[in-house]
Amino acid sequence: MKPIGVFGGTFDPIHYGHLRSAFEMLQALDFEEVRFIPCSDPPHRGVTYATAAQRYRLVEVAIAEQPGFVADDRELERGGPSYTVDTLATLRTEFPDRSLGLIVGMDAFLGLPDWYRWDEILDTAHIVVAHRPGWKAPDIGVLGDMISEHGTHRVSDLHETTHGRVHIHAVTQLEIASTEIRDLIAAGRDPRFLMPDAVRDEILELGLYKGE
């Protein structure tokens, strides 16, 4: 059985950087699907600019045409702080025998030691790190140790075991950030070509990120 990719984030809003990374993972790692899981209450970020329901809606619109992309609202349903370790536990209950691959960008991976019960993540899932512009894999510290102990270059390891490996995978680098998109919209400019047109249209329709 092919692995399920688990892609969590604020997605405030979702853009082509997220979508292209997830698509390359889906194809190159031969995943069954990638589940996009917007957080309701991001423990590390504090404020969001669109509500959880709006961010989820933008994800739905963004991925509607892509087979293998799934919008997953379990963190919205659960409420409270969105801890990845809890999300993975619910996925593990739902898919007891599946390989699960938590997809994170390199910036997110470097912040992993601040996550709630981060050192338990590999007990439930693999971690798949997407290279992002300007970020280098750590070779020292707790993450350096994690990579030397659990790292693998072999995609087949992600298929043959259900959890416990760290795989770093280069993806096409699209230097797009949600922060810049929000700033651009607040400045009255058009975010076209940074995201699917359907997402742009939905943002305009909902009147999001105008900065008031």
Q: Which residues bind ligand ATP (CB under 6 A)?
A: 9-12, 17-18, 21, 104-105, 107-108, 130, 132, 174, 176-179
The residue (of 137 and 174) whose beta carbon lies closer to ligand ATP is 174
3-state DSSP helix/strand/coil % of the chain, to nearest 5 = 40, 15, 45
Whole-angstrom Cα Rg for the chain: 17
C-alpha span between 62 and 201 (Å, rounded): 11
The residue (of 9 and 196) whose beta carbon lies closer to ligand ATP is 9
CB of 180 to ligand ATP, least distance (A): 7
Contacts of 144 (CB under 8 A, 6+ apart): 138
C-alpha span between 94 and 51 (Å, rounded): 27
The residue (of 158 and 176) whose beta carbon lies closer to ligand ATP is 176
The residue with its CB nearest to ligand ATP is: 105
CB of 97 to ligand ATP, least distance (A): 26
DSSP string over 151-210: B---HHHHHHSSS--EEEE--------HHHHHHHHHTT---TTSS-HHHHHHHHHHTTT-
CB of 107 to ligand ATP, least distance (A): 5
The residue (of 59 and 158) whose beta carbon lies closer to ligand ATP is 59
CB of 202 to ligand ATP, least distance (A): 16
Cα diameter, the chain? 50
The residue (of 63 and 108) whose beta carbon lies closer to ligand ATP is 108
Question: Which stretches does DSSP call E strand in 97-161?
Answer: 100-105, 126-130
The residue (of 3 and 5) whose beta carbon lies closer to ligand ATP is 5
CB of 177 to ligand ATP, least distance (A): 3
Instruction: With residue 119 as reference, give the H or E element that holds it.
Output: none
Give, rounded to a whole angstrom, the gap between the first and last alpha carbons of the chain. 48
